[in-house]
Amino acid sequence: MIPVRSQIIQLLADAVAPLLEAIEGATPAGLNIELDIPKAAQHGDYATNVAMSLTRQLKRNPREIAAQIIANLKDPEGIIGKVEIAGPGFINIFVQPRAWHGVLKDIYREPGTYGRQDIGAGKKVQVEFVSANPTGPLHIGHGRGAATGDVLARILMACGFQVEREYYINDAGNQMDTLGRSLYYRYQEVMGESIEFPDAHYQGEYMRDLARDFAQEVGRQYHRTPLEEVLPIFTRYAGDRILAGIRDDLNAFGVTIDHWFSEQSLHDADAVRKTMDELEARGYIYEEEGARWFRSTAFGDEKDRVVIRANGVSTYFASDLAYHKNKFSRGFDFVVDIWGADHHGYVERMLAGVEAMGRARSDLKIILVQLVNLLRGGAPVAMSTRSGEFVTLREVLDEVGKDACRFIFLTRRSDSQLDFDLDVAKMQSNDNPVYYVQYAHARLCSIFDVARERGIACGDSPDGPPCNLDRLVEGQELEIMKLLGEYPAVLANCASALQPHFIPYYLHELVSLFHSYYNRNRILGDDNELTQARLYLAGAVRQVIRNALELLGVGAPEKM
């Protein structure tokens, strides 16, 4: 049992249950009790609007219901100090200071796993993200998707889901031929040919580098060899090398992919055709104007979509249908797709596809990550893979650093656009929120170093702490304990909203409170009993900072 918050929710639920049992058709099981933290301290540590939300069912006025709930409230452990009815029917709850000690003990009981919980109950989940075409290096926008997907995966794992990270490789279709041709032409250049590089090919500098490397490996054997004879060789080389580069960049960014899934493998296994057959058997495929269409309008899409063109070639969407069928066949309870927001027009047809395959639409959760506007000194940096004008993720990492980069991405909700100014990110590096948080961690470590030098024993036992926690009576000390107790709820929010940004905001709030407390109070003082109690508190703060940073994939340095 997570201390205080969930204990109070349980007490309230028990108090509400008799009221609901008294009327017919009520469903106490479905009752969701919300416990808010009021903005004003006079409104208590927690407040709930449960009485107001029951007015319709109970057909009584909210204050009356609130009084009834309070009368039913049992509190054998003495967690609640005072309860009040306020305003239109809020129930304000004041927590007994000593109750917060449970939060600290909980943290010390299993430090590294504090915050983890089992709302997922072992459900299998897949998070698919980045999935950039292997035609060039990752850029900053991919980085945002990578950070979001990676951290979402970590959060879901922390919440008891079994998670697999997947990268879908679009290695089929004519873009790969374009890639191979691009390398071919650059290779001929390296051989000394003067050629006119065709439009609509990949003309980034990285292609020249690849061509030089390729020439190193194979020598002159393909010099002036007709393109058609050797294209597959060039395509394969370019694709493999670029994909390896993507893997390296992701690793440098702290992202590890569990499973790389090739689109081509679907074609090789004839999975696209099989999927189309299955959909046809279900009555969702028809022929018109020489093409074959998927009836996505049956599930709310605005128009039907072509899956097999008149020329017999399947579309990308057809592959994606087969891909998602494949995903579900692997036993995932639900799958999360993280897409660039420029694909939002694709959402409805994909959900339609999921339904047509007999799955619930909610089994596919599509998270749209908005575009990143890369700026330098306030001016936009032009980005285009084809033209080769872009700043790579790698360059941003070298310039700004992994921790700052991840933190900036993760501090905004993914569906709002983000201005990322390289100069600002560097210039402000000392005022960057990530350093604010890391500094608190380093400072805490330093305190423990000093304590050790002075020979102060630091209690770290969950049961019957060796220190007297009743000495923690400062307002901020109680606030810190309370906030530490909120951490599991923050994670649960992230998991249900599939949004990581609550964690950075939580961290900032916790760290800010700690810094303020630190400036007002001495942790290591003359009063040994008080010192030990405060160290116990400080250790808990440090632990939660660590756990949260770990989830973000951001380092928790002991010195900086």
Which range binds RNA by CB under 7 A, 83-91, 95-103, 114-122, 139-147?
83-91
Q: Which of 181, 325, 501, 542 binds RNA (CB under 7 A)?
A: 501
Encoding tokens for residue 169? 């490789």
Q: Within the chain, what is the greatest distance between any pair of CA atoms?
A: 91
Q: How far is the CB of 61 from RNA (least distance, A)?
A: 10
Encoding tokens for residue 493? 């929010």
Binding of RNA by 370 (CB under 7 A): yes
Nearer to RNA, 60 or 309 (CB): 309
Interacting positions 57-76 with RNA (CB under 7 A): none
Distances (CA, A) of 133 to 32, 262, 314: 43, 11, 18
DSSP string for 251-307 = HHTT---SEEEEHHHHHHTTHHHHHHHHHHHTT-EEEETTEEEE-GGGGT-SS-EEE
Cβ neighbours of residue 320 under 8 Å, at least 6 residues apart?
A: 350, 353
Write the interaction track for RNA spanning residues 429-468; mark x where CB under 7 A is met and - where it is not.
xxx-x-xx--x--xx-xxx-xx------------------
Nearer to RNA, 198 or 358 (CB): 198
Task: For residues 476 and 521, give the distance between their C-alpha atoms in angstroms, rounded to a whole number.
Answer: 10
Encoding tokens for residue 112? 């590294």
Q: How far is the CB of 119 from RNA (least distance, A)?
A: 14
Binding of RNA by 502 (CB under 7 A): yes
Encoding tokens for residue 369? 């990550």
Nearer to RNA, 294 or 332 (CB): 294
Residue written as tokens 């020249």? 208
Nearer to RNA, 54 or 146 (CB): 54
Residue written as tokens 């983890």? 116
Interacting positions 531-560 with RNA (CB under 7 A): 558-560
Residue written as tokens 């030990």? 532
Nearer to RNA, 250 or 444 (CB): 444
Interacting positions 232-261 with RNA (CB under 7 A): none
Binding of RNA by 518 (CB under 7 A): yes
Binding of RNA by 182 (CB under 7 A): no
CB burial of residue 30 (10 Å; 0-12, 13-18, 19+): exposed
Q: Are 112 and 180 spatial neighbours (Cβ–Cβ below 8 Å)?
A: no
Nearer to RNA, 102 or 204 (CB): 204
Write the interaction track for RNA spanning residues 154-173; mark x where CB under 7 A is met and - where it is not.
----------------x-xx
Q: How far is the CB of 273 from RNA (least distance, A)?
A: 15
Give the number of other CB atoms < 10 A from CB of residue 276. Answer: 20
Q: How far is the CB of 444 from RNA (least distance, A)?
A: 8
Binding of RNA by 338 (CB under 7 A): no
Binding of RNA by 82 (CB under 7 A): no
Q: Nearest-CA neighbor of 532 among 432, 461, 479, 441?
A: 461
Nearer to RNA, 38 or 388 (CB): 38
DSSP string for 160-194 = T-EEEEEEEE---SHHHHHHHHHHHHHHHHHTT--
Which range binds RNA by CB under 7 A, 33-41, 103-111, 388-396, 540-548?
33-41
Interacting positions 413-432 with RNA (CB under 7 A): 413, 415-419, 428-431
Q: How many residues bind RNA (CB under 7 A)?
A: 86
Interacting positions 37-56 with RNA (CB under 7 A): 38-40, 42-44, 47, 49, 52-53, 55
Q: What is the DSSP letter of 471?
A: G
Backbone angles phi, psi at 260, to 5 degrees: -100, 125
Which range binds RNA by CB under 7 A, 189-197, 244-252, 270-278, 412-420?
412-420
Interacting positions 94-133 with RNA (CB under 7 A): 133
Which range binds RNA by CB under 7 A, 84-92, 113-121, 184-192, 330-338?
84-92
Give residue 61's region: left, alpha or beta (phi > 0; psi -120 to 50): beta
Nearer to RNA, 124 or 508 (CB): 508
Q: How far is the CB of 131 from RNA (least distance, A)?
A: 10
Q: Are 184 and 235 spatial neighbours (Cβ–Cβ below 8 Å)?
A: no
Encoding tokens for residue 178? 């374009």
Instruction: Walk across the sheet containing 285-288 and list its strands.
Output: 285-288, 291-294, 305-308
The torsion defined by the Cα of 168, 174, 176 and 182, in degrees rounded to 10, comes to -150
Binding of RNA by 342 (CB under 7 A): yes
CA count, 13 A, side-chain hemisphere, 223: 13
Q: Which of 86, 190, 383, 458 binds RNA (CB under 7 A)?
A: 86
Cβ neighbours of residue 280 under 8 Å, at least 6 residues apart?
A: none
Interacting positions 294-313 with RNA (CB under 7 A): 302, 306, 309-311, 313
Binding of RNA by 522 (CB under 7 A): yes
Q: Which of 260, 299, 334, 346 binds RNA (CB under 7 A)?
A: 346
Q: Which of 82, 344, 361, 452 binds RNA (CB under 7 A)?
A: 344
Q: How far is the CB of 542 from RNA (least distance, A)?
A: 12
Binding of RNA by 224 (CB under 7 A): no
Q: Which of 88, 300, 380, 466 binds RNA (CB under 7 A)?
A: 88
